[in-house]
Amino acid sequence: MMKFFRKIRQNLVSKGKTGKYLKYAIGEIVLVVIGILIALQINNWNDVRKINNQKHSLLQNIKKDLEVDTLNFAETISFLKENTDLKRSLLSLSSFDTVSNDNLFVLISARSTNQTVNTLTFDKLRSLGISKITDNEGLVTELDEYYINKSNILEAFLKWDTEESKETRDYWFFNQNQFEIDVKHFPIKNKSEIFQFGKPIQNRENLIHLLSEPRGRNYVKMDFVRKKLLLEQYRLIYQAAKTLIPKIETELNK
């Protein structure tokens, strides 16, 4: 193509047609500029297409993350509900004489959970410098609310519960000197390797005594309250994740 244009120029110059040459040269420059602009526009379209494809892929991954979150949160909610329901029924009793040893241990175990929001894809989104994954402003706002605000609130509750639960376990396992933890609650295979001092009946009575004292009872009550508050946070964030999934699905199908 360039050889073709060059021959035309040479032919016009050789024939002394300067005016026509100038017009042709200007026309050639215009064509070159148009060609450059078209090439730039095509590159721009390709860049936009690549970014849109990347956003679509990231939105699909966020949907998968949310689906995993709902499964994990549902499992955690089930555990916390079972735990708090049992503790509520035990705390309503005026005597622990008929309560099984396993249920008495549930009262003092102060188990904590660490199930947080899966922010892997959302963090990748931010690291790539993508401020908006979609033009749907409402969906963008809800995603920010879920991954920033609700996630941070949940982590604050988890941190609080973890710290306070550790203090509670420290009391029952190390700081009191009347009750010996039953070896069957230890995570080891051969439990016969650990000898249990004292008579089981007396050990049980000592635990019931501690659970009847203000200090022991306060630890149990505060653990119950924390788990109830944490349960409510998990329910809220579970519902938020569940609500987002169909909205993302609709956005992906546009």
Query: Is residue 134 within 8 Å of 55, Cβ to Cβ?
Result: yes
Task: Judge whether 30 lies within some domain.
Answer: no
**DSSP letters spanning 48-76:** HHHHHHHHHHHHHHHHHHHHHHHHHHHHH
Query: Is residue 110 within 8 Å of 223, Cβ to Cβ?
Result: yes
| Averages of pLDDT over each 10 residues, the chain, 254 residues | 50 52 57 64 61 86 97 97 96 94 93 94 89 90 96 97 96 93 74 77 95 96 97 98 97 91
Distance of alpha carbon 212 from alpha carbon 222, whole angstroms: 15
Query: 3-state DSSP call for residue 213?
Result: coil
Query: 3-state DSSP call for residue 193?
Result: helix
Please tell me the predicted confidence (pLDDT) of residue 12.
45
Task: Judge whether 34 lies within some domain.
Answer: no
Distance of alpha carbon 105 from alpha carbon 182, whole angstroms: 9
Task: Judge whether 201 lies within some domain.
Answer: yes
List the structure tokens of 127: 């690291």
Task: Judge whether 120 lies within some domain.
Answer: yes
List the structure tokens of 153: 């609130």
Distance of alpha carbon 146 from alpha carbon 77, whole angstroms: 18
What average pLDDT is seen over the chain?
86
Task: Judge whether 224 lies within some domain.
Answer: yes
- Each residue's pLDDT tens digit, 213-226: 999 999 999 999 99
How many domains are contained in the chain? 1
Distance of alpha carbon 214 from alpha carbon 57, whole angstroms: 56
Cβ atoms < 10 Å from Cβ of 153: 13
Query: Is residue 238 within 8 Å of 75, Cβ to Cβ?
Result: no
Task: Judge whether 184 lies within some domain.
Answer: yes
Give residue 132's domain range: 64-252
- Each residue's pLDDT tens digit, 79-108: 999 999 999 999 999 999 999 999 999 999
Distance of alpha carbon 1 from alpha carbon 8, whole angstroms: 11
Q: Please report the beta strands in the chain, taking only residues with DSSP state E, as ranges in sequence order.
A: none
Task: Judge whether 93 lies within some domain.
Answer: yes
Task: Judge whether 140 lies within some domain.
Answer: yes
Packed helices 214-252 and 101-109: angle between N→C axes, nearest 10 degrees: 70
Cβ atoms < 10 Å from Cβ of 163: 10
Which DSSP letter does residue 93 get?
-
